[in-house]
Chains A and B, each alone.
Chain A
Amino acid sequence: MAKADRLIAMALMAISVYFMIHASALPIGWNGMTGGPGGGAFPFWLSLIMFVSAGGILVRSLRSNVKYSETFFDTDTFKSVVFVVIALLVTVWLITWAGAYVALPLFLIWYLRFFGKHGWTLTVILTVCTPIFLFFFFEVTLKILLPKGLTEPFFVPLYAMFF
């Protein structure tokens, strides 16, 4: 637990340094002539406060003598979290080139059948109904086109039918 706390604090410190580098591309000082802080001032000084606070947490954690018995991640359930995150990343990546109507059903099949261990009946029903619902709700009704990637040509007749 303490180790995780320190790691997170250090990561936040690194992020704030990264923010500061970006922010300092614009003036960060007080410019009397144009009246007040420059364009980089807000992000820069706030990142600095963030850096100092995260540093405070790090110091506090190093100083404290409290022994944490609890581990930060429960190894068993943590595995399922990692699986879901990987599945999410793969799904989003798949959307960009195969489109939402391929990626999302595949995700549902994986999640319901293999991760959630539901029967095939439920899996198939949901996997078929969800894209149909998405198409009619988002594309036909709300006129918000979802990404289609390579599958775009297959939708041309559908567009002609519903628009």
Chain B
Amino acid sequence: MELLGHLADGFATSLSVTNLMIVLIGVTAGLFIGAMPGLGSVNGVAIVLPITFIVPPSSAIILLAAIYYGAMYGGAISSILLGIPGASTAVATTFDGRPMAQQGKAGLALIAAAVASFVGGTISVVLFTLFAAPLADVALAFGPPEEFALVLLAFTTFVGLGGDDVLKTIIMICLGLVLSTVGLDLISGQPRLIFFDQPGFYSGVSFLVLAIGVYGIGEILHTIETSKSAPAVTPAKLTFKELWLGLKEMNKLWRTMTFGSLIGFFVGMLPAAGATPAALMAYGLSKLMSKKPDSFGKGNIEGVVAPETANNAASTGSLLPMLTLGIPGSPTTALLLGGMVMWGLVPGPLLFIEQPDFVWGLISSLYTANFAAVIVNIALIPVFVWALRMPFTVLCAMVIVLCIVGGYAPNQKMHDVWLIVGFGVGGYVLRKADYPMAPLVLALVLGPLMEKSFRQTLIAEQGNVMAFVERPLSATFIAISAVFFLLPLLKHLHRFSRRKTAANESPAD
């Protein structure tokens, strides 16, 4: 088979000694960049891109792939250890990763994240190899109505998350959605919600600023108050035995991992969606399908595994529209696209036919990088876990410094740093009053996509709301959303009636 020949060629290149060294360096660098709150694969790719014009192209691709994967793995590290998602793709990982770390299972959570990322990466590379060309057509079939339906689906998989106060959840969703509209209204081209005439608001409220504020500063203030002297987390230890047990534990989670990879790949492949909705949907769906949905958010290992497989699978998936359609699905792929142009490649439908060497070279590099990333990551887990054993006041000071610098770095605006402090204090007070934070962050991530696709559809269809259900794909998504929306309600009613009977049987309880 011609395809396998290309792939074998690619592997032969990527497995040379020099290239293996490059992979190890790239993955390690990517891991640390990704682990830094505020920095992600974009920063990693941005710094090495100019270097890639100097080294031989085959090594360049491998270096890029290694940094990309390293950073994707690294995102989970700050989510789990510090509870601050390093990138929007790792938000869902904090929901259960952070509680696990607080219970002293940071090591297990990190192993789970690494193995899950590896499995997600592997399955997606296989899917990519086999179905790249036909899948490009699926991406094309997605217009604004389908995008809207998909975002709606991502939202509804989260309804009833954690069983919080309904009114408070609604407030947080609305607040997140309103914050997501700050800046420029794409449709009318008018600026809106420019508070206090601050030019910083023109570019909107970025997800990272909110996440670092609420999860970083907010969490620290919370911990300072609840346990001034006591350690923030149960000190975690990691021995070889535990590592082995962790790997064995993962063996039981094949269903979640396969499922997460499939969702991740298919959602990530859609240009508008990408890895963040993919990870959130995988989390929401594995919670819905779980036998113990209540244990999610309290340190269920599946809550780490599902989003981590999904976001890694999605990062491979998002290369698909970049290569076949020339549309970057994320800032990182946009940079890669720019790099390809510099190398004299034209991304688009003809790339697979005219430049098979490049395409399969990239694929095999991704695979090699994925393999290296899991090894380097597991090898470094003891180091990361050790960092948690610092005295709380030292860890706190370091995290605050990282929050400030990490919040400044992506856009290089002091405006963002002020917002982080503001969100931190606000988030701290709201969390104390039992307002849930996850819906707020989720709404800010999905809000812009939701509003844009909703209004694009209505403009194109002259205000006809039925447009969403007239098209087969979007109708299907909306139907599934409706089911998901009603499912927790039904479960709740079911449990309620059961509890009632139970209460009747034992009135003393």
Q: List chain A positions with a Cβ less than 8 A from chain B.
A: 4-5, 8, 12, 15-16, 19, 22-23, 25-27, 30, 32, 34-40, 42-43, 46-47, 49-50, 53-54, 56-57, 60, 72-74, 77-78, 80-81, 84-85, 88-89, 91-92, 95-96, 100, 104, 107-108, 111-112, 115-118, 122, 126, 130, 134, 138, 141-147
Contacts and interface: CB of A to CB of B under 8 A. Distances in A.
Chain B binding surface SS class? helix
Contacts of B281: none
Q: How large is the interface on B (under 10, 10 to 19, 20 to 34, 35 or more residues)?
A: 35 or more
A84 to B, nearest CB: 6
20 contacts: A16-B178, A23-B192, A26-B192, A35-B459, A35-B461, A37-B458, A38-B188, A46-B178, A49-B170, A53-B170, A85-B421, A88-B400, A92-B421, A95-B417, A104-B401, A116-B396, A126-B398, A130-B398, A142-B33, A144-B412
B114 to A, nearest CB: 23
A155 to B, nearest CB: 15
A118 B394 contact: yes
A50 B175 contact: yes
Chain A binding surface SS class? helix
Given A35-B458, A39-B192, A74 B225 contact: yes
Contacts of A104: 401, 404-405
A147 B224 CA distance: 28
B221 A26 contact: no
A49 B174 CA distance: 7
A66 B412 CA distance: 49
A8 B430 contact: yes
The 10 closest A-B pairs by CB, nearest first: A116-B393, A36-B458, A39-B185, A35-B459, A50-B174, A39-B188, A111-B397, A35-B463, A43-B181, A46-B174
Contacts of A38: 188
A72 B167 CA distance: 20
Nearest to B185: A39
Given A92-B404, A92-B417, A104-B404, 4 more contacts: A32-B463, A35-B463, A47-B174, A112-B393
Contacts of B224: 77, 80-81, 84
Given A25-B192, A36-B455, A54 B171 contact: yes
B237 interface: no
B8 interface: no
A116 to B, nearest CB: 3
Contacts of A4: 432-433
Contacts of A27: 188
A115 B401 contact: no
A34 B459 contact: yes
B412 A22 contact: no
Contacts of A115: 393
B225 A92 contact: no
Contacts of B393: 111-112, 115-118
A53 B167 contact: yes
A30 B462 CA distance: 12
A85 B425 contact: yes
B193 A43 contact: yes
B225 A108 contact: no
B39 interface: yes
B228 interface: yes
A57 B170 CA distance: 11
B263 interface: no
B400 A111 contact: yes
Nearest to B405: A134
Residue with the greatest number of chain B CB neighbours at <10 A, chosen from A16, A19, A36, A57:
A36
B168 A57 contact: yes
B460 A35 contact: yes
A122 B228 contact: no
Nearest to A96: B414
Given A77-B226, A143-B47, A40 B412 contact: no
